[in-house]
Amino acid sequence: MDLTNLTIADVRAGYAAKEFSAVELATSVLGRIETADPAFGAFLRVREKAMEDAEAVDARLNANEPARPLEGVPVAIKDNMLLAGETMTAGSKILGPYQAVYTATAVQRLQDAGAIIVGHTNLDEFAMGASTENSAYQPTRNPWNVAMVPGGSSGGSAVAVATGQAVIALGSDTGGSIRQPASFCNVVGFKPSYGRVSRFGLVALASSLDQIGPFAKTVEDAATVYRVIAGSDAHDATTNPTALPDVDLGAPVAGLRIGIPQEFFGDGVDPKVAKVVMEAAKEFEKLGATLVDVSLPHSRDGLATYYIILPAEASSNLARYDGIRYGLSVQDGSSLLDVYTHTRARGFGPEVKRRIMLGTFALSAGYADAYYHQAQRVRGVVREEFHTVFDRVDVLLTPTSPTVAFPLGARTQDPLTMYLADLLTVPANLADIPAISIPAGFVNDLPVGLQLMGKRWDESAVLQAAAAYQRATDWHTRRPPVAA
């Protein structure tokens, strides 16, 4: 059995049939990371304790204890999620290194389900970026073409799954940071509704937009991980306290109403990408769904709204990195103020500084009403437009990204060109709704992702539609060429 191309079901079947042990699987995964990852840079650190965890899994399996949902499944976590006792960098130098003093709820739930965390993946610094080029440590390369970016900010997690270096990975999505790299790397990336997955232990970027979600090779695996990590958490006041609904992935899509919002296919979207996605939409018609033309006029303002709200919230959330309680602390000045200003000057990369300053601007006296408060008003209208459209349709179908993966270095000089990568993904974060990216084809031998969005709390409709598409197509089974 090819140990680098397993789904969760394959892992469980392999253990049940005693084809391999958890230690053998973990050894294979860690070995692959050692030999293959230098070409991609997906991992920042491999987790030494993974072998211990694998031994514990084997002990349980040999004692015939019932297998938990992710028993012995190798998973990778984006390096902005805390795991007690282990280093966390957030892709930045300002943390110092930092040793986590508690474990993020989502990560704890993976461990409680039996998952083996094999390592911490690369990201744009503090999750700010769409290419993983803003990492203070290393770039990550797209396994479909190593001259191209993997997308961001969860580029490391996307590549880890795409290259078989982990079966599952966790990422975080504030403006598309799970969905866009999933699209660039030909894997599934799922962002649940805001409030479905606890943000406790996730490094805060924009607290009204951040969500944790899974990367996987299949919708089925993404749904399994989603069910493990999602649900009420007393540590996060913004989580929905009601019980998580069941998801029937086998539900047929006959009769499903799929909205095609015109604003997501026009200006700024590569016509070749739009064409691939419209062909994918026709697959849904063959399955009995109905395509409905819709319009979301204020979604055109989504990017501007996002690039006011995000920097504003980030400037507040990143104020804590001040050289006082942990991390980098530059003491070469004479005053306390110097500690703050020198630490932050030395510890933050350029994109982080840019966004903090933008946020400071948008919140400053004389500008706050025209920028920050106006953005909040527009956000309310965007939310309302999505709410209304879901009276007429069950899900929306769009491209995930305006383009396929672009070359490393192509967008680093002009920040605005990088921000445009988020054009089609930010509306779902602004509207708090669930959204998934699934493989749908190729342009110039680079993957194209299809995005499905649903009403808030309706992860079921999104996952069901995505699963139906994967039963009818095989884009998601394509694997990139990977050096052995």
Count of C-beta atoms within a 10 Å radius of residue 55: 14
Report how far residue 176's alpha carbon sits from residue 411's, in angstroms, rounded to the nearest whole number. 17
Report how far residue 429's alpha carbon sits from residue 177's, in angstroms, rounded to the nearest whole number. 10
Q: Which residues pair with 216 in a beta bridge?
A: 188
Q: State which residue, 370 or 472, has the beta carbon closest to another protein.
A: 370
Contact 72, 204 (CB under 8 A): no
What is the distance, to the nearest Å, from the Cα of residue 216 to the centroid of all Cα atoms in its chain?
A: 11
Contacts of 140 (CB under 8 A, 6+ apart): 40, 41, 42, 122, 132, 149, 150, 155, 156, 159
Half-sphere exposure of 359 (CA within 13 A, CB side): 20
**Catalytic choice (21, 177, 193, 198):** 177
Q: State which residue, 225 or 303, has the beta carbon closest to another protein.
A: 303
Chain residues that interact with another protein, rule: CB under 8 A: 98-99, 101-102, 195, 232-234, 236-242, 298, 301, 304-305, 307-308, 315, 319, 322-327, 329, 331, 335-342, 344-345, 348, 350, 353-354, 356-358, 360-362, 364, 367, 370-371, 374-375, 377-378, 380-381, 383-384, 414-416, 419
Q: State which residue, 49 or 478, has the beta carbon closest to another protein.
A: 49
Q: Could you give the 3-state DSSP secondary structure of residue 355?
A: helix
Q: State which residue, 147 or 336, has the beta carbon closest to another protein.
A: 336
Both structure tokens of 143: 């396994």
Q: Minimum distance from CB of 411 to another protein (Å)? A: 13
Q: Could you give the 3-state DSSP secondary structure of residue 103?
A: coil
Counted residue by residue, the chain has a size of: 484
**Catalytic choice (153, 157, 172, 183):** 153
Does residue 78 have an active-site annotation?
Answer: yes
Q: Minimum distance from CB of 308 to another protein (Å)? A: 5
Does residue 49 have an active-site annotation?
Answer: no
Both structure tokens of 353: 């500084």
Q: Minimum distance from CB of 23 to another protein (Å)? A: 30
Q: State which residue, 182 or 202, has the beta carbon closest to another protein.
A: 202
Q: Minimum distance from CB of 63 to another protein (Å)? A: 31
Catalytic residues: 78, 153, 177
